[in-house]
Amino acid sequence: MSQKKLDAETMNFHRRQNTTETDTPPRTAPNSTNSTNSTNSTNSTNSTNSVGPITAAELMNLQFEPTRWVVPGVLPEGLTLLVGKPKKGKSWMALGMCEAVAVGGVAFGTRSVDQGDTLYLALEDNTKRLQKRLRKVLDGRPAPDRMHLHTVWPRLDEGGAEKLDAWLTEHPEARLVVIDTLAKIRKPAGGANIYAEDYAALELLLPLAAKHGVAIVVVHHLRKMAAADPMDEISSSTGLTAGVDGFLILRRTPGSKGPTLYVDGRDIEEPTEYALHWNISTATWTIEGDAEEVHISKERADILLTLNRSPEPMTPKQVSDAMDAKYGSVKKLMWTMLGDGQLVKDEEGRYSPTHPTFHGNPGNPGNRGNPGNPGNPPGESPQESFPPVTGLPDDLEAGNPTYPDRYGEYNGRVTRVTGVTRECLHGTPTGYPCDECEAEDLFGGDE
């Protein structure tokens, strides 16, 4: 367990032990009704918190409502941080979730969600920009009445928490609240004790999420440096991560095949990282599946494309050189593809696709995929054997001449089935894609 996860569990334990006498005693049966949230049958004061010691037998006899998922497998009720680098689509993701829940539609392109009221606090936007963004997300659909938006909201310590409590009370069927961003809602840090200040930054939101049975998502930023543990990339001390229930981390690690969403939290049994696809026309994210499985399938596609473009079978070393990829990884994956029937191997250890996409002469044994040359039809020359092609302009500049495939001249490695690597135009030492390249490609510089 990472240090941040350990700190989170420790602080949660102390918070339960310090619960005041106003909390519901553990022996009290759960309240079947809830005046502040008709959709939540548990007691409004969070029956999961105990006043004092409790025996194991008493604990096991308690009845609790199952955790409700706002977005199945991605976002449960509770307090969640949505983090990512600037201009990487965090706000678009949050806005899309709010719209999907407000209409009871589909979030992330694959997850059907229950309908409920949503509140989006776009505290870094004005109404004009917010309208522009929402119009793009709606993509011609009518705007939902159950989606509420604000561009101004008081800080939590200046009445913001009480105002949110009142709004949730007025909207008992609310399911999702998004606060964009943390810096606009938290008490300004004094610098005396960074851990304590970070922990206290969102402390007022935890009981509100539990009381009303909603998901509260707070948008925040990642550090610039990548880390082995995704939670270590969050721009804060461990106090901030200790004070929330879960995390949604939007990132693209060096050498990865594309953006991913890392999902973890107290109600997440196993941390999951999803591969994402960005739809630039609607500014929405789609979950493609488990990141490891999706990216492996893309690596297989790159290998098949490289082999199909080669006139001869290739060794794993030749394929890894052509793709500018790690030899050991390519060799292992090609061996797996051989066992799966995607590749065939000759006696010299060279590989070729089982079903080549480039076909030619059907009987030339030296040219794979070309099963032979039946010869030219009778005639003095091949040109005389076929009717002339008509409709071509005499002047090449007047028409659309066909140019040969010059892919090999660019010496670019295949990064996906649809594209090749290009150079970074911003002068970064890591090359393409740098942060600026990705922002321009995906969002045109707009998050």
Angstrom distance (rounded) from CA 393 to CA 89: 48
Contacts of 36 (CB under 8 A, 6+ apart): 44, 168, 169, 172, 211, 212
What is the pLDDT, as a whole number, of residue 298?
81
| Fold classified for 68-279 | Rossmann fold (3.40.50)
Tens digits of residue pLDDT in 8-52: 444 444 444 444 333 433 333 334 334 434 444 444 344 455 567
What is the pLDDT, as a whole number, of residue 316?
95
Which of the four CATH numbers 1.10.10.10, 3.90.1200.10, 1.10.10.60, 2.40.50.140 does domain 295-367+407-443 have?
Answer: 1.10.10.10
Confidence of residue 238 (pLDDT cuts 50, 70, 90): confident
Confidence of residue 420 (pLDDT cuts 50, 70, 90): very low
What is the pLDDT, as a whole number, of residue 51?
61
When pLDDT is averaged across residues 398-418 and rounded to a whole number, the result is 44
Q: Is the pLDDT of residue 94 over 50?
A: yes
Contacts of 66 (CB under 8 A, 6+ apart): none
Phi-psi region of 272 (alpha: psi -120 to 50; beta: other; left: phi over 0): beta
Q: Is the pLDDT of residue 1 over 60?
A: no
Q: What is the pTM of this model?
A: 0.62
Tens digits of residue pLDDT in 365-396: 444 444 444 444 544 444 444 555 554 445 54
What is the pLDDT, as a whole number, of residue 141?
95
Q: Is the pLDDT of residue 443 over 90?
A: no
Tens digits of residue pLDDT in 148-207: 999 999 999 999 999 999 999 999 999 999 999 999 999 887 777 787 888 888 999 999
Angstrom distance (rounded) from CA 185 to CA 80: 15
What is the pLDDT, as a whole number, of residue 243?
84
What is the pLDDT, as a whole number, of residue 359?
47
What is the pLDDT, as a whole number, of residue 13?
45
| Domains of the chain, residue spans | 68-279, 295-367+407-443
Beta-strand runs (E) in 144-297:
147-150, 174-180, 215-221, 246-251, 260-265, 272-279, 284-290
Q: Is the pLDDT of residue 109 over 80?
A: yes
Q: Is the pLDDT of residue 68 over 70?
A: yes
Cα–Cα nearest to 4, from 264, 270, 200: 264
Residue 35, SS3 per DSSP = coil
What is the pLDDT, as a whole number, of residue 192?
73
Please, are residues 271 and 263 in contact by the beta-carbon 8 Å criterion? Answer: yes
Residue 322 token pair: 């052509």
What is the pLDDT, as a whole number, of residue 216?
98
Q: What is the average pLDDT value for the chain, to the nearest integer?
A: 77
Q: Is the pLDDT of residue 114 over 90?
A: yes
145 or 241, higher pLDDT: 145
424 or 144, higher pLDDT: 144
6 or 143, higher pLDDT: 143
Q: Which residues pair with 107 in a beta bridge?
A: 111
Tens digits of residue pLDDT in 313-355: 999 999 999 999 899 999 999 998 998 888 999 999 999 999 8
Phi-psi region of 422 (alpha: psi -120 to 50; beta: other; left: phi over 0): beta
Angstrom distance (rounded) from CA 203 to CA 184: 15
Angstrom distance (rounded) from CA 194 to CA 243: 13
Confidence of residue 293 (pLDDT cuts 50, 70, 90): confident
Please, are residues 64 and 46 in contact by the beta-carbon 8 Å criterion? Answer: no
Angstrom distance (rounded) from CA 149 to CA 132: 13
pLDDT > 70: percent of the chain: 65
Angstrom distance (rounded) from CA 25 to CA 177: 28
